[in-house]
Amino acid sequence: MGPLWIALGAAAAGGIALAAIFAAARSRRERRRAALRAAPFPDEWRRIIEGTTPLYRRIPPELKRELHGHMHVFLAEKKFVGCRGRTIDDEVRLTIAAQACVLLLNRPPRYYPTLDEIFVHPTSYVRTSRVASDEFGPALGDLIEEEDSFAGESWERGGVVLAWDEVLESGYGDGYNVVLHEFAHQLDQGGEGAHAMERDFADWARVFQEEYSRFKKAVRRGKRTAMDEYGATDPAEFFAVATEHFFETPGRMRAKHPELYKALRDYYRLDPAAWD
Ligand SMILES: [Zn+2]
């Protein structure tokens, strides 16, 4: 064997060894997750979520069991960080984990692989950024300070930010749920959201496009819509807002947007309209 073949052989062996190491790490992680999922779910935890999370109360018992298992994994793998004086206690961790994990039910869970940390603020937070002014006159193009108020954010890599008062406002059947909203973005950002639907469901691209265009038009014309107008911002927001309504106002969505409801039912493999 010449040096080239030896080098190629070594590289191939190295590749196989590396693949074996990854496979071993993956199976260790899967064993650890299976053990976590099988752990008992404390009654005290159940009482806390029942108190803070109306969505949890609607979930059928067999799905609740699966949810509890996913929550154990989520709580073991994700770090919660309190911001601006908000402390992280069981109520914060469980309320957020319960709703984030609803989006993982009934399919092989990936547990938001690009997410490491959840930052929790006590209330909505304002961020000041310097942007170029788009006003005409002498200010055109000048840098001005713009203030934006956030109830939550989902970063492309590493983090979700949530305002605790907005989390507590979520889940009352009016279509608003900031936890579902931000974690739907996480599914998208982890390659499992709207893009995956285009790949896995032949009808999704057509349904999504049609529903999104119709919705944008209705919002522009000032019509009353069955979903939050914020969904008309862009396709990513439409997916996040549609996810909120799918779980929070499922009966209304099924009646007003039957095709969208069906597409989301196929994607999430859940039928929340049948839970009530
Ligand atoms: Zn959003």
Average pLDDT score over the chain: 89
Average pLDDT over residues 3-17: 71
Ligand 1 midpoint to CA 42 (Å): 33
Ligand 1 midpoint to CA 3 (Å): 55
Ligand 1 midpoint to CA 15 (Å): 40
pLDDT in the model for residue 138: 52
Ligand 1 midpoint to CA 194 (Å): 13
What are the pLDDT digits (tens) for 215-240? 999 999 999 889 999 999 998 999 99
Ligand 1 midpoint to CA 238 (Å): 8
Ligand 1 midpoint to CA 237 (Å): 5
Task: Name the phi and psi angles at 219, rounded to 5.
Answer: -65, -45
What are the residue ranges spanned by the domains of the chain?
193-276
| Cα-only R_g, the chain | 22
What are the pLDDT digits (tens) for 131-190? 776 665 556 667 777 777 889 989 888 899 999 999 999 988 899 999 999 999 999 888
Among 200, 221, 214, which residue's Cα sits nearest to residue 258? 214
Question: Do the beta carbons of residue 231 and residue 242 sit within 8 Å?
Answer: yes
Pairing of strands 79-82, 115-121: parallel
Ligand 1 midpoint to CA 182 (Å): 6
Ligand 1 midpoint to CA 206 (Å): 22
Ligand 1 midpoint to CA 235 (Å): 10
Ligand 1 midpoint to CA 181 (Å): 6
244 pLDDT above the threshold of 60: yes
Q: Which residue has the higher pLDDT, 20 or 88?
A: 88
Ligand 1 midpoint to CA 240 (Å): 6
Ligand 1 midpoint to CA 65 (Å): 29
The matching CATH number, chosen from 1.10.8.100, 3.30.70.3280, 3.40.50.10140, 3.40.390.10, for 193-276 is 3.40.390.10
Ligand 1 midpoint to CA 143 (Å): 26
What is the C-alpha to C-alpha distance for residues 242 and 31, in angstroms, rounded to an integer? 34
